């Protein structure tokens, strides 16, 4: 049985499922934003059947929505988190064919990714994590330009009639530093890397699907292509990733024990590849469509091939 854990509005999941439907294979879809009944047995006698699991987005919603209205919701969510992590660890231990994951996404640490990337020989932006103004001033003196961005995720919340959101990646000017107290909230700062192009990569089970993004042709997207200009889209084309970079990225993912993710790189005007970050459950539909990669078909075929292997093994 193929099992897909995703969200009800995730378009790439819909497209993968269309291929499964066309092939007439059995599958089960679990939408993380919708409550689903759940039971799991830990028994001395009962053995679980092997499955092919693609954990595309988020986690299983194991608590009815009515319960989440109460003041102690945070405690129930903590327990749900433990159950979701148990499910994933159990599947790995039992050698189920498991793509993606909740654990790596929930505890994702971009700082550790930078450290690992540097250790295996990838170039990374010089980075400082600090809450001291004096350290930031010293760091700024070393580089013509520096940037800051969220350590983990963008801040976004609603208050009455307004939605507040952090700006993502942006350049730090001297006036920003002057405004700070001697100690401030812990933050990340990096040297600004000049770009020839930005590269978005989707990785699945040993295969890299890479796309070049010509973000430098637009002032709005120069600092970060995610400052989207919907009126004037960046140009996107397929990109062939060098074998040496592929090997280093595979080594990095081996350390992290993940078999699918999205990766962001920069190619500098000096033709050097610079590692930026990994997104364990990153979007890839736009990479697939802009480059005619048909990644959704590739994933569906991988799931079906592995499901067939399990079926044959079961009836040997």
Q: Tell me the pLDDT tens digit for each residue of 209-259.
A: 999 999 887 666 666 766 666 666 778 999 999 999 999 999 999 999 999
Check if the beta carbon of residue 140 is closer than 8 Å to that of residue 177.
yes
Q: Please, which residues bridge with residue 228 across strands?
A: none
Name the band, by pLDDT with cuts 50, 70 and 90, for residue 93.
Answer: confident
Distance CA 52, CA 303 (A): 7
In this structure, what is the dihedral angle of CA atoms 251, 307, 89, 299, given to the nearest 10 degrees?
A: 50
The pLDDT value given to residue 40: 83
The dihedral built from the CA positions of residue 298, 303, 304 and 308, taken in this order, carries a sign that is positive
Q: Tell me the pLDDT tens digit for each residue of 286-305.
A: 999 999 999 999 999 999 99
Task: Provide the terminal-to-terminal Cα distance of the chain, rounded to the nearest Å.
Answer: 17
Of 258, 254, 255, give the one whose Cα is nearest residue 279.
258
Q: Tell me the pLDDT tens digit for each residue of 169-181.
A: 889 999 999 999 9
The residue behind tokens 């009962």 is 46
The pLDDT value given to residue 249: 98
Q: Tell me the pLDDT tens digit for each residue of 32-69.
A: 888 888 888 888 876 767 889 999 988 888 888 777 67
Other CB atoms within a 10 A radius of the CB of residue 163 amount to: 8
Which residues of the chain are in CATH 3.30.470.20 domains?
197-279
Q: Please, which residues bridge with residue 100 across strands?
A: 55
Q: Which fold has domain 197-279?
A: D-amino Acid Aminotransferase; Chain A, domain 1 (3.30.470)
Decide which of 89 and 270 is more confident: 270
């Amino acid at each position: 049985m193929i099992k897909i854990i995703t969200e009800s509005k995730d378009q790439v999941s819909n497209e993968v499922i269309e291929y499964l439907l066309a092939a007439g294979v059995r599958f089960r879809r679990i939408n993380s934003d919708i409550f689903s009944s759940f039971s799991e047995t830990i028994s001395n006698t009962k053995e679980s059947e092997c499955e092919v699991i693609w954990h595309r987005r988020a986690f299983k919603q194991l608590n009815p929505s009515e319960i989440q209205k109460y003041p102690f919701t945070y405690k129930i969510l903590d327990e749900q988190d433990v159950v979701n992590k148990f499910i994933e660890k159990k599947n790995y231990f039992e050698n189920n064919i498991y793509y993606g994951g909740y654990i790596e996404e929930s505890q994702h640490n971009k700082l550790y990714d930078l450290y690992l990337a540097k250790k295996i020989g990838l170039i990374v932006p010089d980075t400082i994590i600090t809450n001291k103004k004096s350290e930031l001033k010293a760091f700024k003196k070393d580089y013509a330009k520096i940037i800051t961005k969220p350590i983990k995720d963008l801040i976004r919340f609603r208050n009455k009639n307004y939605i507040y959101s952090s700006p993502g990646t942006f350049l730090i000017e001297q006036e920003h530093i002057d405004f700070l107290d001697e100690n401030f909230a812990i933050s990340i700062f990096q040297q600004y890397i000049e770009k020839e192009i930005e590269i978005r990569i989707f990785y699945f089970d040993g295969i890299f699907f890479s796309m070049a993004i010509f973000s430098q042709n637009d002032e709005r997207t120069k600092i970060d292509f995610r400052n989207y200009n919907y009126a004037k889209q960046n140009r996107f084309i397929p990109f062939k990733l060098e074998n040496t970079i592929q090997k280093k990225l595979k080594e990095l993912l081996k350390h992290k024990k993940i078999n699918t993710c999205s990766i962001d790189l920069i190619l500098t005007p000096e033709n050097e590849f610079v590692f930026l970050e990994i997104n364990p459950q990153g979007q890839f539909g736009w990479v697939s469509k802009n480059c005619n990669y048909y990644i959704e078909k590739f994933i569906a075929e991988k799931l079906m091939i592995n499901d067939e292997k399990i079926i044959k093994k079961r009836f040997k």
